[in-house]
């Protein structure tokens, strides 16, 4: 599956550790509200055109499904060889629900062990007609009488109880008719509604990963039980049917009522896993081109096709295919590839062989858009799914415990493919920023799993969807990046080619990959490793977390330990927290030969430095390794001085890494905050926006903007930061005012300029406030004018904040325009909470209660927006308490949990806790009151720790603000 962007709220690690069970419930509520937020719009508004360009977040994986599916392994008595599958969704255009589908599946199996029952997967399906077993082949007719068909709901299996015995070594055919409900839930075979050319339409599509194939047809629903498929779809004549292979016949038939249906028959598939089978039935149009004999078609709403919204996706898909074929030296084996832009799709994107499906915003690009970021997002997502055609489809992991062999490798190649078709993107910067840095911040929490789990852990009630996370995607890609780095790309690709050819149309585990890499390493003498590939890589994939390296320049000693919160020293694993670590390094700007740390510590004489302040060492250059670095005070002082005198002497990725590591080390107790702050003195000379973004996320976290102004640190931080921000701010403000088109190839400006400008305005920079008011006023005078999307959210917020009722009313008017894109509606929904007049915020909250002004989905979003503002949190709280009966009826306890979470950031005293308790003592059940009290107590404790930290920051700023 494709990555999804997303960032969570900051939760202190101490509270997270002690309140894990409580937070699971709160997170469920947050996820539910996040889903509501994504759909929040006026009920009457038609679906918007493709959204205007937005900055793609780091590749990130899809969120977990609500509730895990059963993971029952099937017995190995029967091995599927071939499916003849007929599907018949009983859907006509304009038909009212409920909807259903029926079908017939004939599965040719080889019996591997004598058995008196046939067990296969089936979930939520009802049998249709008697089950039959034919064989042994090639004999015709029923061979073994079926005594009964038993459905086991808990194990999601169907058991054919036989009156005879299937014999080992023989082939049989299992014949089952089935029927099921066609829901609008975006899993299995589902129905979705959309608007095209002003008319309401319906579409049927599928999403079968990881274990939803069994909800569509009875099957052997495990990745290693590969087979070939002949698929036939019966559908309404006005629809087109698509599946993994090209259609080879289209005919007609009549049902029992004499109604006409179309029958589309598809060519025999290659050998593949059940989760990769795919079906789309609807009234879409397409654009096409052929690349090396591969017919590529992009399907979408007719309106989108006519307007050229998928032309960019079409233009890059062929070249990425060719790039991957040439790089891997393995040809794409299918004759056609369909990419379908679905109006509503929960998985984001899915790599089904020959029929990839995407959320339509992931494929659509407005031809009039000149900016790179939207193209980059599409290129990254398309490249990810194309990478799966080799890693996942051609060679599939044997079981879900090695899912990273699919998703981690595809996440690595998505950036190679994207930078191939968009060469102005910087591969190392974008990979560090989108992949490595985000997962390093997550892969240190208590309870985070290892990249590769043991196979026996993935069974029973284990939720397979929990594996589709940042560990699988981003950590998998990060250790692949590291592996390619120390092997060299040439050897790495050679090993992958060998691996792909050996296991084509089959399955593999990570040891199989290590074996093929070892074969390539053994066949040459340029790259020497300190241990076997398996020993090295198992240290990264089979234990959780990652190391932090500590360097002592006086002795040249490097030591390693697991990076964890010093307050929670709990770690039990079979590796004794030791990794075999490749250490890239430079000395005084010159790259040095790679060294290895394969034990807890070692002395490297070449890393001892002289007394000269110009003698410095930098480890993990450009973050080639998956770890953090803790330097001694001597080296940090030299690096801080170097940054002030010649920042470009350190590569950009390493500068960002140095700062991000320092703040992470501070947060976890390895380093003093004052030491980390020393590394920020040079920032007036920093011109890389992705580095500024890392700095600002550490110094001005978005979830603390509403509270930092209450601390004495704010005026000092304002003076210190603005002095350093002015050069880069004015550089970009000049483009905003005079020639924004000049930024069309500046990817990081399109991704991160918003944060820079939002911080400048938050710090009260008058030019930023004036620019926001100026652009907002221009929009008010000329509603057809488009505020530059790079800073649209900031301009709208501060345009409303700097004005009064007139400015707020204009935002309200524009929000209610039916032709406003959904993204603009979301921006305006937030901007209206930026008002500085209390009565406007209260009126906004009152509007939120109205069924006629908003859909009910929006009410909770409005409350949370207002609650996060510095003057809004009290107003939001009073509003919730005054209107609780109505709000409780609509949302239950979930809304209160979220409001409490936001209010918690303002809790510093026992009196404030008591004030909140007075309210929820009358609204919550006893167990919920206890949980809420605990949450507030720990939040208060965190806030007090934060206050102490900010006092230290303020003291440091007091001494350094004028430097």
The Cα angle at residue 625 between residues 623 and 626, in degrees rounded to 5 = 100
CA-nearest of 378, 373, 368 to 341 is 378
Catalytic pick among 217, 473, 732, 776: 473
Pairing type for strands 628-631 and 547-552 reads parallel
Closest among 546, 554, 540, 545 to 631, alpha carbons compared: 554
Q: Is 475 left (phi over 0), alpha (psi -120 to 50) or beta?
A: alpha
729 in catalytic set = no
- Parallel/antiparallel/unpaired status of strands 355-359 and 336-342: parallel
Closest CA to 73 of 224, 278, 217, 277: 224
Task: Please tell me the distance from the alpha carbon of residue 868 to that of residue 737, in angstroms, as a whole number.
Answer: 30
Q: Which three-class secondary structure state does DSSP give residue 771? A: helix
For tokens 């010159």, name the residue: 590
H helix intervals, 686-746: 689-699, 705-708, 713-738
Residue with tokens 């964890």, as numbered in its chain: 564
Instruction: Please check whether residue 50 is in contact with residue 378, taking contact to mean a CB–CB distance below 8 angstroms.
Output: no
**Phi, psi (5° rounding) for residue 153?**
-60, -45
Please name which of 646, 647, 613, 644 lies closest in space to residue 963, comparing C-alpha atoms. 644
Q: What is the CA radius of gyration of the chain?
A: 29
Per-state percent for the chain, helix, strand, coil, to nearest 5? 45, 20, 35
Q: Virtual CA dihedral for 323, 329, 334, 336, nearest 10 degrees?
A: 20
Contacts with 228 (C-beta within 8 Å, 6 or more apart), sequence order = 81, 82, 83, 268, 269, 270, 271, 272
DSSP 8-state class, residue 649? G
* Among 86, 222, 360, 385, the one annotated catalytic: 385
Question: Which residue in 244, 274, 237, 242 sits closest to 259, CA to CA?
Answer: 237
Closest CA to 461 of 64, 63, 71: 71
Q: Calculate ∠ Cα 924-927-931, nearest 5°.
A: 90
The reply to whether 385 belongs to the active site is yes
Instruction: State yes or no: cis peptide before 721, omega within 30 of 0.
Output: no
The alpha-helical segments, DSSP class H, found in 782-923 are: 792-801, 805-815, 822-831, 838-848, 856-867, 872-882, 884-891, 893-903, 910-920
H or E stretch covering 124: none
Partners of 166 in the beta sheet? 115
Cα angle at 512 between 508 and 517, to 5 degrees? Answer: 135
Q: Which residues are catalytic?
A: 385, 473
């Amino acid at each position: 599956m494709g990555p999804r962007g997303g960032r969570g709220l900051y939760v202190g690690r101490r509270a997270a550790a002690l309140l894990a069970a409580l937070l699971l419930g709160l997170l469920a509520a947050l996820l539910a509200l996040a889903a509501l937020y994504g759909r929040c719009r006026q009920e009457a508004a038609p679906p918007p055109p493709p959204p205007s360009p937005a900055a793609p977040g780091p590749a990130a994986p899809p969120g977990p499904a609500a509730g895990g599916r059963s993971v029952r392994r099937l017995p190995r008595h029967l091995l599927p060889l071939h499916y003849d599958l007929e599907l018949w969704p009983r859907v006509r255009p304009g038909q009212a629900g409920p909807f259903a589908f029926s079908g017939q599946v004939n599965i040719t199996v080889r019996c591997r062990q004598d058995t008196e029952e046939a067990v296969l997967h089936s979930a939520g399906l009802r049998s249709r007609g008697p089950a039959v077993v034919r064989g042994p082949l090639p004999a015709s007719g029923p061979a073994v009488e079926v005594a009964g068909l038993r459905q086991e709901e808990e194990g999601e299996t169907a058991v054919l109880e036989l009156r005879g015995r299937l014999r080992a070594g023989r082939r049989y055919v299992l014949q089952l008719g089935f029927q099921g409900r066609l829901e609008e839930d975006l899993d299995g075979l589902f129905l979705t509604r959309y608007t095209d050319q002003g008319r309401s339409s319906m579409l049927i599509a599928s999403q079968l990963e990881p274990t939803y194939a069994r909800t569509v047809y009875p099957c052997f629903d495990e990745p290693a039980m590969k087979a070939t498929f002949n698929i036939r779809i019966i559908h309404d004549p006005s629809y087109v049917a698509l599946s993994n292979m090209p259609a080879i016949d289209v005919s007609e038939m009549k049902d029992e009522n004499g109604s006409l249906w179309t029958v589309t028959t598809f060519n025999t598939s290659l050998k593949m896993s059940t989760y990769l089978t795919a079906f789309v039935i609807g009234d879409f149009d397409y654009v096409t081109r052929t690349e090396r004999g591969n017919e590529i078609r992009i399907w979408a709403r007719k309106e989108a096709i006519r307007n050229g919204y998928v032309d960019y996706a079409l233009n890059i898909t062929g070249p990425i295919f060719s790039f991957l074929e040439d790089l891997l030296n393995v040809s794409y084996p299918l004759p056609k590839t369909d990419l379908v832009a679905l109006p509503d799709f929960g998985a984001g994107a899915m790599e089904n062989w020959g029929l990839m499906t995407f959320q339509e915003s992931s494929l659509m690009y407005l031809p009039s858009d000149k900016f790179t970021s939207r193209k980059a997002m599409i290129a990254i997502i398309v490249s990810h799914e194309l990478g799966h055609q080799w890693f996942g489809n051609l060679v599939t992991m044997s079981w879900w415990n090695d899912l990273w062999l699919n998703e981690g490798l595809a996440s690595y190649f998505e950036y190679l493919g994207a930078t191939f078709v968009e060469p102005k993107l910087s591969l190392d910067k974008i990979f560090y920023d989108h992949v490595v840095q985000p997962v390093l911040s997550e892969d240190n929490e208590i309870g985070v799993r290892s990249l590769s789990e043991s196979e026996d852990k993935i069974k029973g009630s284990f939720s397979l969807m929990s594996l589709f996370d940042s560990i699988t995607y981003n950590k998998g890609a990060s250790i692949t990046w590291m592996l390619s780095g120390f092997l060299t790309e040439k050897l790495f690709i050679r090993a992958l080619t060998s691996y792909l050819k050996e296991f084509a149309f089959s399955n593999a585990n990570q040891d199989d990959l290590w074996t093929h890499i070892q074969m390539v390493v053994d066949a040459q003498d340029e790259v020497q490793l300190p241990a076997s590939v398996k020993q090295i890589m198992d240290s990264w994939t089979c234990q959780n977390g990652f190391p932090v390296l500590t360097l002592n320049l006086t002795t040249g000693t490097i030591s390693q330990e697991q990076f964890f919160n010093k307050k929670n020293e709990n770690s039990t694993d079979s590796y004794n927290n030791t990794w075999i670590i490749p250490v890239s390094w430079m000395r005084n700007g010159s790259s040095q030969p790679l060294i290895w740390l394969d034990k807890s510590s070692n002395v490297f004489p070449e890393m001892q430095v002289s007394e000269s302040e110009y003698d410095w060492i930098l480890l993990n250059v450009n973050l080639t390794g998956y770890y953090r670095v803790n330097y001694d005070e001597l080296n940090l002082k030299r690096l801080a001085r170097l940054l002030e005198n010649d920042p470009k002497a350190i590569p950009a990725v390493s500068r960002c890494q140095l700062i991000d590591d320092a703040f992470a080390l501070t947060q976890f107790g390895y380093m003093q905050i004052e030491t980390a702050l020393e590394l920020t003195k040079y920032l007036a000379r920093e011109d890389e926006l992705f580095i500024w973004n890392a700095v600002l996320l550490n110094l001005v976290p978005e979830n603390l903007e509403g509270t930092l102004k209450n601390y004495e640190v704010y005026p000092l931080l304002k003076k210190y930061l603005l002095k350093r921000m002015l050069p880069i701010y004015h550089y970009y403000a000049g483009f905003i005012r005079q020639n924004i088109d000049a930024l069309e190839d500046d990817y990081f400006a399109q991704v991160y300029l918003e944060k820079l400008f939002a911080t400048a305005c938050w710090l009260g920079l008058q030019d930023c406030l004036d620019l926001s008011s100026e652009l907002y006023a221009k929009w008010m005078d000329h509603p057809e004018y488009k505020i530059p999307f790079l800073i649209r959210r900031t301009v709208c917020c501060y345009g409303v904040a700097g004005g009064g009722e007139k400015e707020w009313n204009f935002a309200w008017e524009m929000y209610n325009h039916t032709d406003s894109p959904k993204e603009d509606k979301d921006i305006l929904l937030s901007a209206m909470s930026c008002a500085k007049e209390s009565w406007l915020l209260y009126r906004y909250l009152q509007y939120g209660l109205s069924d006629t002004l908003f859909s009910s989905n929006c009410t909770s979003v409005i409350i949370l927006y207002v609650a996060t503002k510095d003057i809004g949190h009290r107003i939001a709280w009073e509003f919730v308490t005054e209107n609780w009966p109505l709000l409780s009826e609509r949302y239950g306890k979930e809304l209160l949990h979220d409001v409490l979470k936001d209010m918690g950031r303002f809790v510093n005293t026992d009196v404030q806790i008591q004030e909140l308790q007075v309210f929820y003592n009358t609204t919550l059940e006893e167990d919920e009151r206890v949980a809420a009290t605990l949450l507030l107590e720990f939040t208060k404790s965190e806030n007090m720790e934060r206050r102490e930290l900010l006092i230290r920051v303020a003291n440091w700023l007091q001494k350094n603000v004028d430097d």
